[in-house]
Chains A and B, each alone.
Chain A
């Protein structure tokens, strides 16, 4: 039996929502059952969300904020005898300029990248072919990693990163190719085996800093063809990049909420 008690505050396009709930989920044979937990109550949680700071960072460039969702929450989990807790922060931002839309998802409220991406979007020129070689920003490569499962390019390794606890109370272990851990994004969802906290390793970690940089996603990733905003030395443009080979991946990684968790790193294609 899995039990969860959680509270959060969410900002969604102008409205604050504070939610407290407790749930319980069981699996008996093929049957998955879940319901609110009648025996427990969750205390309310509140936190200051940096709406003004993020809005100001966007407004410094002439782009439109189409969607802003911020979530800060706490949760206590129990599976069998094991209990654990976590604090979660999520940011989802969609910025538009002309007919382009940039999508940002991150696990912190850091505005550094937001400001840079908004400024780049404001300077966006017409569509171009993707350059033969370019860099992927950590926020872009993180979205790609879940799509590499089962089709890892040559000369790199795709691994599950050890650390933390999975949806059935097990330690998340280092793994490659087979995924022993369970992903449970909500008590209302049947847990399934999935690679958690993916990272990509390459023997090469040196990345040419002069290459154009895919600075942000222009569409959700749904395969190995990425719609990205590319920042070159003197111009910014939309392009479609087809990932067939990853030449290098940096060792500095940031965790992003893609798939069942993904460590983005600067990569060179």
Chain B
């Protein structure tokens, strides 16, 4: 079976191009394993070039922008990673304007430290929590735990690889969480999660870790930005208190496993955890 890929990647800082990469190759799966080389498929490279032309229109001068145009035998994808300070969003040409608003909001100086309060996962960020707590255990064949009956999570798995050099692994393609008649009440004192910097699931310890990059502390009618903090719980100790509304696309899951980084589409409703 033949796998082929071409990727163009550009890194822009302060509106200037500082890194430019072309990668291409193919891999054949045979009885004795995978044989791979950097063979060029001109059609795939041409498709990348066309996609990169469109992506370059998204460069803005005050944000570090990484553009990735990737062409495989089954189609072309365009990804933009926009970074401000320690924060980043993963977006595309159609959504970059709205996602940059969120990124700039997240980059504001925090005014408070995190407190042990209920978390309200805004902007679809609960998808990251569920990615770690439900998606990764499923990828690694870890027995599922019971979740509230109002929560439905789709996380189709497929053999995926980041490049022609990699071994295909069973990975999520997307994660979409929905709620049906979930309870929902906004705690008066709460932390509202705006943006997540990363996450992890360890099958050995069953621990879920999510690094919250930007959040607001809501108390007494005041809103104050919270310094980055880590949400770490045993998977079985995660308590979902409620949810509201339709799934919201979260701009930001580049998932790394076994050194292979893949974009995973992520959607979740507004959700509350203890």
Binding site for B on A (CB under 8 A): 12-13, 15-23, 30-36, 38, 42, 44, 66-67, 96, 99-101, 188, 190
- Cα A39 to Cα B108 in complex, Å, equals 49
| A35, A99, A190, most chain B CB atoms within 10 A | A35
Residue in A12, A31, A36 whose CB lies within 8 Å of B38: A36
B33 near A36: Cβ-Cβ < 8 Å: no
Query: Contacts of B258 on A, CB cut-off 8 Å?
Result: 12-13, 67
A16 near B37: Cβ-Cβ < 8 Å: no
- Of the stretches B12-20, B97-105, B221-229, the one at the interface is B12-20
- Cα A188 to Cα B162 in complex, Å, equals 15
- Of the stretches B21-29, B109-117, B209-217, B262-270, the one at the interface is B21-29
A33 near B24: Cβ-Cβ < 8 Å: no
List 5 other contacts, CB 8 Å, given A15-B167, A16-B33, A17-B36: A20-B36, A22-B38, A32-B20, A34-B20, A188-B21
| A36 and B165 in contact, given A31-B17, A31-B20 (Cβ under 8 angstroms) | no
- Cα A125 to Cα B79 in complex, Å, equals 47
Residue in B18, B24, B35, B36 whose CB lies within 8 Å of A36: B24
Binding site for A on B (CB under 8 A): 16-25, 27, 32-38, 40, 165-167, 204-205, 258
| B16, B32, B167, most chain A CB atoms within 10 A | B167
Query: Contacts of B19 on A, CB cut-off 8 Å?
Result: 31-33, 190
29 A-B pairs (CB sep. < 8 Å): A12-B167, A13-B258, A16-B32, A16-B33, A17-B27, A17-B165, A17-B167, A19-B36, A19-B37, A19-B165, A20-B36, A20-B37, A21-B38, A22-B38, A23-B38, A31-B18, A31-B19, A32-B18, A33-B19, A33-B20, A34-B22, A35-B21, A36-B24, A36-B38, A38-B40, A44-B35, A99-B205, A100-B204, A188-B21
Nearest 8 interchain pairs by C-beta: A16-B33, A21-B38, A35-B22, A36-B38, A17-B34, A19-B36, A33-B20, A15-B167
- Cα A101 to Cα B23 in complex, Å, equals 35
Query: Contacts of B205 on A, CB cut-off 8 Å?
Result: 99
Residue of B nearest to A34 (CB): B21
Residue in A13, A21, A30 whose CB lies within 8 Å of B25: A21
A21 near B37: Cβ-Cβ < 8 Å: yes
- Cα A260 to Cα B86 in complex, Å, equals 24
- Cα A99 to Cα B20 in complex, Å, equals 43
- Cα A31 to Cα B12 in complex, Å, equals 10
| A18 and B35 in contact, given A12-B167, A33-B21, A34-B21 (Cβ under 8 angstroms) | yes
- Cα A65 to Cα B32 in complex, Å, equals 22
B interface SS class: strand
B214 to chain A, nearest CB (A): 23
Query: Contacts of A33 on B, CB cut-off 8 Å?
Result: 19-21
B24 to chain A, nearest CB (A): 6
Residue of A nearest to B166 (CB): A17
A17 near B204: Cβ-Cβ < 8 Å: no
B22 near A13: Cβ-Cβ < 8 Å: no
Query: Contacts of A16 on B, CB cut-off 8 Å?
Result: 32-34
Query: Contacts of A17 on B, CB cut-off 8 Å?
Result: 27, 33-36, 165-167
B167 near A13: Cβ-Cβ < 8 Å: yes
- Cα A15 to Cα B32 in complex, Å, equals 8
- Cα A36 to Cα B40 in complex, Å, equals 9
Query: Contacts of A34 on B, CB cut-off 8 Å?
Result: 20-22
Residue of A nearest to B24 (CB): A36
- Cα A31 to Cα B20 in complex, Å, equals 8
- Cα A100 to Cα B165 in complex, Å, equals 30
Residue in B18, B22, B36, B204 whose CB lies within 8 Å of A30: B18
Residue in A20, A22, A66, A188 whose CB lies within 8 Å of B23: A188
Query: Contacts of B17 on A, CB cut-off 8 Å?
Result: 31
A96 near B37: Cβ-Cβ < 8 Å: no
Residue of A nearest to B207 (CB): A99
A25 to chain B, nearest CB (A): 9
- Cα A106 to Cα B19 in complex, Å, equals 31
| A15, A19, A100, most chain B CB atoms within 10 A | A19
Query: Contacts of B25 on A, CB cut-off 8 Å?
Result: 21, 36
- Cα A22 to Cα B27 in complex, Å, equals 15
Query: Contacts of B24 on A, CB cut-off 8 Å?
Result: 36
Residue in A42, A44, A99 whose CB lies within 8 Å of B204: A99
Query: Contacts of B32 on A, CB cut-off 8 Å?
Result: 16
Query: Contacts of A99 on B, CB cut-off 8 Å?
Result: 204-205
